[in-house]
Homo-oligomer: A and B are copies of this chain.
């Protein structure tokens, strides 16, 4: 299953911590990344949706990425989000990620203009690949229509894969439509396809998924990794049931502020609550409900007391 040129396994779309003044906190970012890898993540996807990636500036993304690599994280384990609504900014971020040796990049479609044609999206990704012009590029398409409002269709995947078989490495499917995800896996067995939830990891792996890239891997990386490793063993179903229950409990609150509140609570670090506008932090009652749910009902990778 492990193709050396493809990322696989349990990938966390890493939260981005901010200082109270709203600037990214490189130190806490590196710490959290190292904790995720220690806990069993096989790779990291910084600057995705859960990372508030589209709220970060171009310079901020490049600086955080370099800090992470300087701190000793292997760039081959990194799949930063480099997609913006602008082709030129996306080229800049993608070229930078390839230059510093990232194992892949996760690229949103351009998400400002609505209802773009398939041809327009094909040209967008084509120009990106050709302008970056580096055989080391491994591009993962990012299908998250509820947020981007611009779907990455099966036909678009097919055209891109045929035109750029080396560069188009895979796809993250955050649509929540597992039937569609399974269809993509059946149709493109040579692509590394990741559902965005550990709640369907077992089902995905049976159909050839490369793993999962899940927001809640920021909270329960060890449990998801155990499930990934035990997928063909006798305990798989029980582990699957447990990680799905934890995930469901976490997602009762708004995803990003909720996960940040949990990290804040587990580490006794109020600063972890800070989100960047347009998001807002949970209020105290929401936070207490979330913490209580995770204390009473679930086993949990982070120690919530």
Nearest residue, chain B, Cβ from A254: B117
- A: which residues have CB within 8 A of B? 22, 54-60, 84-89, 92, 109-114, 116-117, 119-121, 123-124, 127, 146-150, 276-280
Which residues of chain B are near A112, meaning CB under 8 Å? 54-55, 111, 147-148
Top 9 nearest A-B pairs (CB, nearest first) are A57-B88, A116-B278, A54-B112, A120-B278, A124-B277, A123-B277, A54-B85, A57-B89, A120-B280
A54-B86, A55-B87 given; 15 more Cβ-contact pairs under 8 Å: A22-B127, A56-B86, A57-B87, A57-B92, A58-B86, A60-B88, A84-B85, A110-B277, A111-B112, A113-B279, A116-B278, A120-B277, A121-B277, A121-B278, A123-B280
Given the interface pairs A60-B88, A84-B85, A127-B22, the reply to whether A55 lies near B110 with Cβ below 8 Å is yes
Indicate the member of A57, A59, A84, A277 with the most B CB atoms within 10 Å. A277
CA distance A278 to B116 in the complex (A): 6
- Whether A57 contacts B86 by the Cβ 8 Å rule is yes
Which residues of chain B are near A87, meaning CB under 8 Å? 22, 55, 57, 276-277
CA distance A92 to B114 in the complex (A): 25
Given the interface pairs A57-B88, A86-B57, the reply to whether A110 lies near B149 with Cβ below 8 Å is no
CA distance A114 to B110 in the complex (A): 15
- Whether B124 contacts A278 by the Cβ 8 Å rule is yes
Which residues of chain B are near A279, meaning CB under 8 Å? 113, 116, 120
Min Cβ gap A142→B in Å is 12
Which residues of chain B are near A150, meaning CB under 8 Å? 278
Which residues of chain B are near A119, meaning CB under 8 Å? 280
- Whether B127 contacts A55 by the Cβ 8 Å rule is no
- Whether A113 contacts B54 by the Cβ 8 Å rule is yes
Which residues of chain B are near A109, meaning CB under 8 Å? 278
Indicate the member of A89, A149, A276, A278 with the most B CB atoms within 10 Å. A278
